[in-house]
A and B are shown apart, each in its own frame.
Chain A
Amino acid sequence: GAVVSQHPSRVICKSGTSVKIECRSLDFQATTMFWYRQFPKKSLMLMATSNEGSKATYEQGVEKDKFLINHASLTLSTLTVTSAHPEDSSFYICSARAPVGTIYFGEGSWLTVV
């Protein structure tokens, strides 16, 4: 079946640095991808909707300059956490919409900022 892959699955970075997380749709083209953040013991929060070839649409309260989203191709969207701080440590999950409309989620990426 359709697969959405995220890389890296785990990353540790130093405070103040930037880190990029990739989300790839492996066997379908995804014009729309979504980025979520999951806080401990909390639900998933939609951060932004990423449309191929256009700017991402951010949810209220999400800093677009801190969480840079690029959807450069129909199979790849990236989330870059800029000037990361320990409070950015979280589990980030992407999802991608297949042409038939089904949403597939990636495996998630654990970010730890030290």
Chain B
Amino acid sequence: AQSVTQLGSHVSVSEGALVLLRCNYSSSVPPYLFWYVQYPNQGLQLLLKYTSAATLVKGINGFEAEFKKSETSFHLTKPSAHMSDAAEYFCAVSDRTGNQFYFGTGTSLTVIP
């Protein structure tokens, strides 16, 4: 069974500050892990994914995430927040077949000018 937990349904950061969105996963098999972003009234856009290569994964828009097996975590970070980063962020886990994605409940990021 697989699941993800996103700690913090709402996160607010000041423009230029560090963004840290937390995700912990549970998986009985080596997982694939993903971060998606959803802008208002839009679908999902893939930010980055971990598929067992490098544990530090770099994605689009300056985001990156680190897979830490010992902590079962896959937290998303960005050194400096931009106003355009305000959106809903979803962490997801799948098995190696990719047959099913299990999403977290999402974290709404607000960037304060």
Contacts and interface: CB of A to CB of B under 8 A. Distances in A.
Nearest to B104: A43
Nearest to B91: A43
B101 A108 contact: no
Contacts, number: 42
A105 B103 contact: no
Contacts of A108: 42-44
B22 to A, nearest CB: 15
B101 A103 contact: yes
Contacts of A93: 43-44
Q: How large is the interface on B (under 10, 10 to 19, 20 to 34, 35 or more residues)?
A: 10 to 19
A49 interface: yes
A34 B99 CA distance: 9
Interface of B: 9, 36, 41-46, 90, 94, 98-106
Contacts of B46: 105
Contacts of A32: 99
B105 A106 contact: no
A43 B105 contact: yes
Contacts of B42: 107-108
A44 B90 contact: yes
Contact of B103 (A6, A43, A103): A43
B101 A43 contact: no
A97 interface: yes
